[in-house]
């Protein structure tokens, strides 16, 4: 059986390798890597394969390979690299080099054991706002599309002026350059395609605990009240049983209050919200920016538009404006295993319709009738004002169905 070794290499090329690693490369018969890594070995006598596109075809080839193989990878292959994927498919030994993140913190002369890490390399910047918000130190792997300029523009659109950025370019090579920027400075600067961004929080970030006060949200004027109230919102989000990486649908999002609080829990997931009213949609956009949440917002009347969303782990239905049967058809059929649907109903008729619909689709339910009253001053005394009673219906697929 072929010996397969994966060796991490720095931007400085061969000089980053131990003599033993260079010996293994020279003795191998097949050298695999990105075009940049392969260019460090123009004199290599064996066959070269450049990694382009997906890795599945490479895996199939390596599974039947009988020659000795070395795979070159940038930095530490197990840090947002190809190492974890390939090692799960084929038997190989991994020999890492310093990651670009390690080098960047070394140039900053700062500790990094308590930093947060994320990547927009080869993936969408969507959702970065809630992953960054409030964190003291965030290291970001970039690419040519999601450059430091774009990251700065993006974060500034959410008002994140309390952050400064350290940008390390071509780390380890003779073209290395390291600089500090405010985000406003960074958005107009030019950078090498090979770079790392580290955000440092220099000022206070706004903090919104679960159960944001209703008055904090931008709402329809002069008519207010079209918002899932704080107490109902808190109970409903608890019933959704969200995880850090949950995919969430918010149907009838209105001001976006549920979407916003859900996204702050599911920071590594994604929230998809739909709203039919244009005025509420604009309020929702402003609320998303204010509360630093980057959700996917669609203008439409459900169930139209739901086919563009990925399958959900959790669905919140705050309002259907009719068409409950069709909406529940889609939600129930596409909900992931162990997912939850939470529906708020105001009337007994809607409660009855929802309960029957869930039963017909093989779902179990739990209902909470929330009757909330808030204190209100009257002269030098205190009385209570009652909110509308709300039925909170939690539904999940029966075991084995």
For the chain, 401 residues long, give each residue's pLDDT as a single digit of tens: 578 999 999 988 999 999 999 999 999 999 999 999 999 999 999 999 999 878 999 999 999 999 999 999 999 999 998 999 999 999 999 999 999 999 999 999 999 999 999 999 999 999 999 999 999 999 999 999 999 999 999 999 999 999 999 999 999 888 999 999 999 999 999 999 999 999 999 999 999 999 999 999 999 876 655 789 999 999 999 999 999 999 999 999 999 999 999 999 999 999 999 999 998 999 999 999 999 999 999 999 999 999 999 999 999 998 766 788 999 999 999 999 999 999 999 999 999 999 999 999 999 999 999 999 999 999 999 999 999 999 999 999 987 66
Q: Do 138 and 150 lie in a common domain?
A: yes
214/193 Cα distance (integer angstroms): 44
Q: Do 393 and 253 lie in a common domain?
A: yes
Q: Smallest Cα–Cα separation from 119: which of 83, 79, 153, 68?
A: 79
Among 52, 72, 98, give the residue marking a domain's end.
98
Containing 350, the helix (H) or strand (E) segment is helix 348-360
399/334 Cα distance (integer angstroms): 16
Give the helix ranges, DSSP H, for 39-167. Answer: 56-63, 83-89, 100-108, 128-132, 148-156
**pLDDT attached to residue 269:** 97
317/221 Cα distance (integer angstroms): 23
Q: Do 57 and 175 lie in a common domain?
A: no
Q: Are 282 and 262 in contact (CB under 8 A)?
A: no
Q: Do 14 and 79 lie in a common domain?
A: yes
Q: Smallest Cα–Cα separation from 291: which of 352, 217, 227, 349?
A: 217
Containing 233, the helix (H) or strand (E) segment is helix 230-240
Residue 208 belongs to some domain of the structure = no
pTM of the model as a whole: 0.89
Q: Do 16 and 162 lie in a common domain?
A: no
As for how many domains the chain has, the answer is 3
CATH of the domain at 362: 3.40.50.150
Q: Do 269 and 387 lie in a common domain?
A: yes
Tokens of 237: 């989000």
Domain of 359 in residue numbering reads as: 214-397
Residue 206 belongs to some domain of the structure = no
Q: Do 178 and 254 lie in a common domain?
A: no
Q: Do 188 and 221 lie in a common domain?
A: no
134/137 Cα distance (integer angstroms): 9
CATH of the domain at 26: 3.40.1010.10
Tell me which residue has tokens 């009213």: 277
SS3 call for 285:
helix
**pLDDT attached to residue 191:** 96
Residue 267 belongs to some domain of the structure = yes
Residue 207 belongs to some domain of the structure = no
**pLDDT attached to residue 52:** 86
Among 151, 177, 201, give the residue marking a domain's end.
201
Q: Do 192 and 222 lie in a common domain?
A: no
């Amino acid at each position: 059986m072929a010996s397969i070794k994966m060796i991490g290499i720095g931007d400085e090329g061969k000089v980053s390798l131990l003599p033993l690693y260079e010996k293994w490369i020279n003795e191998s018969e097949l050298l695999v890597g990105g075009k940049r890594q392969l260019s460090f070995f123009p004199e290599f006598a064996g066959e070269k394969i450049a990694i382009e596109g997906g890795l599945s075809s490479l895996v199939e080839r390596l599974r039947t390979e009988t020659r000795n193989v070395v795979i070159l990878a940038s930095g530490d292959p197990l840090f947002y690299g190809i190492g974890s994927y390939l090692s799960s498919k084929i038997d190989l030994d991994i020999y890492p080099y310093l990651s670009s993140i390690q080098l960047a913190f070394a140039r900053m002369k700062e500790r990094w054991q308590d930093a947060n890490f994320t990547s927009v390399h080869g993936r969408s910047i969507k959702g970065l706002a809630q992953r960054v918000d409030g964190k003291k130190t965030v290291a970001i792997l970039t690419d040519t599309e999601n450059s430091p300029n774009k990251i700065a523009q993006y974060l500034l659109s959410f008002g994140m002026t309390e952050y400064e950025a350290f940008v390390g370019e071509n780390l380890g090579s003779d073209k290395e350059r390291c600089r500090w920027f405010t985000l406003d400075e960074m958005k107009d600067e030019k950078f090498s395609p090979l770079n790392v961004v580290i955000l440092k929080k220099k000022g206070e970030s706004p903090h919104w605990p679960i159960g944001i006060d209703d008055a904090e949200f931008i709402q329809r004027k002069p008519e207010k009240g079209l918002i899932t109230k704080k107490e109902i919102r808190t109970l409903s989000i608890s019933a959704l049983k969200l995880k850090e990486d949950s995919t969430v649908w918010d149907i009838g999002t209105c001001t976006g209050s549920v979407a916003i609080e859900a996204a702050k829990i599911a920071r590594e997931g994604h929230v998809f919200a739909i709203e039919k009213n244009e005025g509420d949609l604009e309020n929702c956009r402003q609320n998303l920016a204010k509360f630093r949440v980057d959700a996917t917002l669609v203008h439409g009347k459900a169930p139209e538009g739901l086919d563009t969303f990925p399958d959900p782990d959790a669905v919140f239905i705050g309002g259907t404006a009719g068409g409950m049967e069709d909406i529940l058809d889609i939600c129930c059929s596409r909900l992931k295993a162990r997912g939850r649907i939470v529906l708020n109903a105001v009337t007994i008729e809607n409660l009855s319709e929802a309960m029957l619909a869930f039963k017909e689709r093989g779902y179990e339910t739990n209902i909470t009738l929330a009757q909330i009253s808030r204190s209100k001053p009257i002269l030098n005394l205190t009385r209570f004002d009652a909110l509308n009673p709300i039925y909170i219906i939690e539904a999940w697929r029966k075991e084995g169905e």
